[in-house]
Amino acid sequence: MIGRLSGILIQKQAPLLMIDVHGVGYEVQAPMSTFYNLPELDKPLVLLIHMVVREDAQLLYGFYTEPERRLFKSLIKVNGVGPKLGLTILSGISANEFVHVVKNNDESGLVRLPGIGKKTAQRLIVEMKDRLSDWQDDTVEGRDKTATTSDNFNIEQDIIKEATSALIALGYKPVEAGKMISKLDKQDQTSESLIKQALQNTVR
């Protein structure tokens, strides 16, 4: 089983990225919490990996921190929560926020995320509470980067399209994703920072 990849980042378009490891390109799916911390293309990258083996595929999921990976592995053990929904959860809410929501029985904090209805939210809270009982907040804080802004640069259209496509891949409808992006200040932004702000706005 693959537990870690160290190589060169050669492609990234949320939620997919590719890492070149000695000439072999590994396709990895990652949550936006990891995308926020990715280097530029052609730069070194180390990711922690969770590998899922199915009859028709071997899938790799990458994470910037061990708490993210550990939480993902716990999430996909919950009935009705597969890897895709696990990535959506970690993309829309930080690990620290997720722990807070579960410990406070806050269903509304989960149903705001795409793909999570009331029953799934209740199931997550019930099944995850015991697993997170000894999980300290400071162990799940990610290394999120805050995007910088400037009034002197207008973001190009392809950045907007990339951010919109990523939101659609995370489960939002095209019209909904477009509205989420349209509400944001787009000056001097990256696609990752736009996605981060759009997702943050959904949980306010």
Q: What is the pLDDT of residues 12-36, one digit of tens each?
A: 988 899 999 999 999 999 998 898 8
User: Under a CB-based contact definition with an 8 Å cutoff, are residues 26 and 10 in contact?
Assistant: no
**What Å distances lie between residue 96 and 33, 116, 134, 178, CA to CA?**
12, 18, 13, 28
Residues of the chain with CATH 1.10.8.10: 157-202
Q: Which pLDDT score, from 0 to 100, does residue 139 have? A: 40
20 Cβ neighbours under 8 A, 6+ residues apart: 7, 8, 9, 10, 26
| Low-confidence spans in the chain with pLDDT less than 70 | 136-158, 186-188, 203-204
Q: Which pLDDT score, from 0 to 100, does residue 174 have? A: 76
The verdict on domain 157-202 having CATH code 3.40.50.2000 is no
Residues of the chain with CATH 2.40.50.140: 4-63
Q: Which pLDDT score, from 0 to 100, does residue 137 have? A: 52
Give me the CATH topology for the region 4-63.
OB fold (Dihydrolipoamide Acetyltransferase, E2P) (2.40.50)
Predicted TM-score of the model (pTM)? 0.68
User: Residue 44, preceding bond cis, omega within 30 degrees?
Assistant: no
Q: Which pLDDT score, from 0 to 100, does residue 196 have? A: 82
User: Under a CB-based contact definition with an 8 Å cutoff, are residues 29 and 16 in contact?
Assistant: yes
Here the tokens at position 140 are: 């799940």
Q: Which pLDDT score, from 0 to 100, does residue 17 have? A: 94
Residue type, 131: R
Residues of the chain with CATH 1.10.150.20: 66-139
CATH architecture of structural domain 66-139: Orthogonal Bundle (1.10)
